[in-house]
Amino acid sequence: MNQEERKQKIDAILGEVKRKAEFPGISPELWIAAEEGKPGEPEFEEWMRCCTQMVDAYQIEEGRKDTDSVFAEYVRIYGRRKYEKQS
């Protein structure tokens, strides 16, 4: 993939992110890692910790499991990751 193709792909991913919703605290780099990364890579694992946190937060706030979000999809496919819970 050349530099121009990479820039176009990143722009497309960022455009999709902005279109879906704003999620404070999740950097654009993690969204890119979600699209391009693989399990075991540090950025992808950080993305998976964020996904796990988001589905847990949804369950606490809504009282039911998140089954429809992009976060739930990643957790369903790749499994939950441990993270430090904020108190």
For the chain, what percentages of helix, strand and coil (3-state, to nearest 5) are there? 65, 0, 35
Residue 56 lies in a domain: yes
For residue 75, the model assigns a pLDDT of 97
Residue 10 lies in a domain: no
C-beta atoms surrounding 49 within 10 Å: 16
**Domain tally for the chain?**
1
The single-letter code of the amino acid at 74 is Y
Global pTM value: 0.71
Residue 69 lies in a domain: yes
For each of the chain's 87 residues, which pLDDT tens digit applies?
Answer: 788 888 888 777 766 655 545 566 788 889 889 989 999 999 999 999 999 999 999 999 999 999 999 999 999 999 999 988 755
Residue 52 lies in a domain: yes
| Spatial distance between the Cα atoms of 34 and 48, rounded to a whole number of angstroms | 8
Range of the domain at 41: 26-87
Residue 62 lies in a domain: yes
Tokens encoding 64: 């039911």
Residue 53 lies in a domain: yes
